[in-house]
Structure 1
Amino acid sequence: MDQTSAITGRQIAAARTLLGISQAELAVSARISIPTLKRMEASDGYATGMINNVAAVRSALETAGILFIDPNGNGPGVRLRDRQP
């Protein structure tokens, strides 16, 4: 798995919740279909799909202010980047 894009379906769903955006909004931002995003979020473990699609979702979320937290003994996570005034 390419570690630059490896994220879990739960991280994607949690990130969307933090941002307050829908699956449709994220799909448009990442330039993928809604069914593709739904499959990614539903996967057990790392998001499945074409590597470029997973990378596009990760990039869209990071651009929107999400930081992905690598597994560090407590599992992977997400948080919002600090907003600079």
Structure 2
Amino acid sequence: MLKTLTSAQSRAGRALVKWSVRDLSEKCGVHRNTISAFETDQTEPNGSTLTVLRQALETAGVEFIPENGGGAGVRLRKTSP
């Protein structure tokens, strides 16, 4: 199964948009404890949970960089001048 979001990408994505765990929770409807457990590698949420986490971060401007030999990552979408 293709992993849609890693715990490190979630933490980094939140940092890029200056969101707390609570902020992400409110944006996507996933409980704070679920997000915290995922981001600290205590649990692996189901696919639909990972999808809504990723979608919330993408809506905020986070772009996800796939594993391409250099490691998966994130960046902030470039805004038009």
Same fold per TM (> 0.5)? yes
1:1-85 correspondence runs (5 A) = 1-2=1-2, 6-43=4-41, 48-85=44-81
CA deviation string 1:38-73 (max 9, x = no partner): 1111128xx711211110000000000000000111
Q: Provide the aligned C-alpha RMSD in A.
A: 1.6
CA deviation string 1:4-60 (max 9, x = no partner): xx111000000101111100000110111000101111128xx71121111000000
How many pairs were matched up? 81
Gaps in structure 1 of 5+ consecutive residues: none
Question: What fraction of aligned residue pairs are identical, expressed as a percent?
Answer: 35
Gaps in structure 2 of 5+ consecutive residues: none
TM, length-normalised to structure 1: 0.87
